[in-house]
Structures are given as structure tokens and as C-alpha cells.
């Protein structure tokens, strides 16, 4: 994974600011995701609130995992395998990434800037690349 130490720091510090508003952030994320791609709504069988809690827990694990990238890779591969079973396609990473960026922009407000956005873009792209290489072939 190719993210700089500075990007890792930015992502981890900014996520700590989002954690106190995790429920609101998850709500913004899913609302935005379904606006970007309404067809993705079919992938979510459970209550969207509980799904939001899972999302925020998973993001927390991934962001913390940036401290040990070698250990994070198998976690991302397992996550990818589960998402294939749910019916997720490689193309779905684009609206997910865009919804995440929008959620962070809204949640972080004036703290959101070009450098922080790029750190999240590069981090999400690196994680998505690992996940897609492991389980997605569409």
C-alpha cells in the first residue's frame, strides 16, 4: 500500500474527529451512496442503522490498521471475500469511495482541505486495490 506517513497521520487524526458523530456520519454516507447509485440499496438486507454501526466499526479497524499495513492486508482480503458474497461488484467501489469522501467533507466541515482529501483518496484507493485484486474479477 502506498500512502505516506503524513497521509496516514491525517487519515487517523481526522477519523478520530468523525468517531463522536459516527451515527450521523453513517446516515450521511448511506443517504449519499443511495443517491449516487440507487441500485446498491438492494445489497443491504438488514436495518440501515445497524449497518451504519458495522460500517463505522470497519472503518475504525481499517484506519487503525494503517499502523501495520502487513497485518491489514489479510483483513482487507477477508472483507473483500465477504463483500463478494453480499453481491458487491468492483464497480461499486467508485460510488462507495465518493460517498465516503462526501461524508468526511460534511462531517469535518472547515477541517476538510485539499491535503486531507488527497490523503483519504489515496488511502481508500490503496485499500480498494487490495480488496479488488483479492476477490473481484468483474
137 pLDDT above the threshold of 70: no
Residue with more model confidence, 137 or 100: 100
In this prediction, residue 2 carries a pLDDT of 79
Work out the mean pLDDT of the chain and round it to a whole number.
Answer: 93
* Full domain range(s) for residue 81: 5-135
The total of structural domains in the chain comes to 1
pLDDT tens digits, one per residue of 75-102: 999 999 999 888 899 999 999 999 999 9
Q: Kindly tell me the sign of the dihedral angle through the C-alpha atoms of 64, 57, 81, 36.
A: negative
Q: Give the pLDDT of residue 134.
A: 82
Q: What does residue 124 show for φ and ψ, rounded to 5 degrees?
A: -65, -45
Q: Is residue 36 pLDDT above 90, yes or no?
A: yes
User: Where does the chain have alpha helices with state H?
Assistant: 5-18, 22-36, 48-65, 69-86, 93-108, 114-135
- Check whether 138 has a pLDDT greater than 70: no
CATH number, position 66: 1.10.490.10
Amino acid at each position: 500500500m502506498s500512502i505516506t506517513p503524513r497521509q496516514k497521520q491525517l487519515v487517523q487524526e481526522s477519523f478520530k474527529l468523525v468517531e463522536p458523530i459516527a451515527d450521523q456520519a453513517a446516515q450521511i454516507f448511506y443517504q449519499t451512496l443511495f443517491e449516487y447509485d440507487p441500485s446498491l440499496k438492494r445489497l443491504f438486507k438488514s436495518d440501515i442503522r445497524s449497518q451504519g454501526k458495522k460500517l463505522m466499526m470497519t472503518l475504525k479497524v481499517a484506519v487503525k490498521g494503517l499502523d501495520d499495513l502487513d497485518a491489514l492486508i489479510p483483513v482487507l482480503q477477508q472483507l473483500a471475500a465477504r463483500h463478494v458474497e453480499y453481491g458487491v461488484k468492483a464497480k461499486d467501489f467508485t460510488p462507495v469511495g465518493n460517498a465516503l469522501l462526501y461524508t468526511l467533507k460534511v462531517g469535518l466541515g472547515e477541517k476538510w482541505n485539499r491535503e486531507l482529501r488527497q490523503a483519504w483518496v489515496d488511502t481508500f484507493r490503496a485499500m480498494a486495490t487490495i480488496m479488488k485484486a483479492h476477490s473481484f474479477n468483474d
